A and B are shown apart, each in its own frame.
Chain A
């Protein structure tokens, strides 16, 4: 099993460009998440999907959209990238969205917006 995979690994964008970060998991998990990690801030939740067909905002959703394409895939879209969105983005999944469920993270996407 590959676990949680993310593409691309690295990306450089110019301000105003758009892009979609892809995430897929092969563990048959119901819940998926998108986080961003910035120095001194810890990981912050952008959006999550408790189950296929549902998505909800996390702590920092502005400037992002998500799509739960199917049970396996959860994508994050930046419609008009801004330098403040320079960050490392992690996708995660868990069996359910319960408090005791372990979340498994993908390897991350490093995004630089110029």
Chain B
């Protein structure tokens, strides 16, 4: 079983739609959680950190469910420019090595 699992998609949605991705992690010692965005043939970039209380950044909302060991990303009012692959990332414990554990990513395609 992979440490971090995501549905690879693709998720095809029309502009303006709301879409949500989930990501499950297997190690209960995981302490830090992130969503990265990767455009086609480009490098990953941090989209947002995921806090225990949940957090929002504009149209994006990230939530953590420790009991069920998953994190989610909600995108409201989807734009064409949101088309990308979204990578779920966790770090174990209070790691002082910065080792990121990546999911394989979920691909979103927003259609006009």
Contacts and interface: CB of A to CB of B under 8 A. Distances in A.
Interface in A43-99: 43-45, 48, 50, 56, 58, 90, 94, 96-99
- Best-buried of A31, A41, A43, A98 by chain B (most CB within 10 Å): A43
A18 B53 CA distance: 49
The secondary-structure label for the interface of chain B is loop
Nearest to A88: B41
B interface residue count range (under 10 / 10 to 19 / 20 to 34 / 35 or more): 20 to 34
Contacts of A107: 42-43
A45 B102 CA distance: 9
Interface in B47-102: 49, 87, 91, 93-100, 102
The A interface, classified by DSSP as helix, strand, loop or mixed, is loop
Contacts of A48: 97-99
A42 B102 contact: yes
Please name the 5 residue pairs, one residue from A and one from B, whose CB atoms are nearest each other, closest first. Answer: A97-B98, A105-B43, A42-B102, A42-B104, A43-B102
Interface of A: 31, 33, 40-45, 48, 50, 56, 58, 90, 94, 96-103, 105-108
